[in-house]
Structure 1
Amino acid sequence: MLPFPTSLRVAASNVLGGCDYTSALKEFLDHAARFGVTRELIEDAPPHLAHPMHRAHLAAVAETLAELGGLTAPGWTEWPEFAPLAEPVPADPDRRARLAPVTPPAFARRGLYGPAMAALSGRLQASG
């Protein structure tokens, strides 16, 4: 049995252990929403995941959580392995333009467009 993802590092480690990426991140973000954003959630660099989109996403999640929690982003988010995607998602420029207004800045910088973490952001701001 995999450990409950009480940090981004543990969530990514669970993916390496066979957990679905989306499920691991959802459990982690639910934990963050329930207990609040702390440095311990995002401090340690996650292990290397094979998919570049997952690595970019992990860094964007960490940066966004840091912003929501009034923290500085962890330094590992700038490491080359967490670089922006070579091809943005979605690939269609018109669709990206429609999604840009609801895309958090850390996600847009990494080429990931969509309303990522909107529900969590609302929950954290309401409880803060």
Structure 2
Amino acid sequence: MPHGIAAPTAGAGPPLRRPRMNRIIALIVTGLTAGALYTAIPVSAPPANASIAQCNGRLACAWTDRQFQGAFGSWSRSTGPLRGFHNVISSVANNGPRDIGWWSEPNFTGRLFVQKSGSAGFFNWPDVRNDSINSVWFYTR
């Protein structure tokens, strides 16, 4: 035989397909075992570092995560850009006496979302407001 490779003989081993199938089965079993171990480890969410109760007084409040969790920011007057909260806001609350406007761009430009006094809510993707707020305007009337 060329290159010094001996021809296979009877009993030399399983056909070529079998080791490939064994490898696939081994990968599946390994994946299932790893998955079982992963689900057996108790997983707890980190404690919330913010809540709706933080928004007190005459404030516009925002959180970086849904359901009023994550980093918290509050403003008592029109502000733009919202430093540290550029495109990361997912929850908002208006605890002031008047409506406020959340703008998608700094300096009160772009898309506008008007929030009524005393209201709160959060956004999920694909809502265009999620992670797109950059300034807040306090209306005087």
TM-score range relative to shorter protein? under 0.3
Determine which structure has the larger helix proportion and give its number. 1
Whichever of the two has the greater Rg, that structure is 2
Q: TM-score, normalised by structure 2?
A: 0.21
Determine which structure has the larger strand proportion and give its number. 2
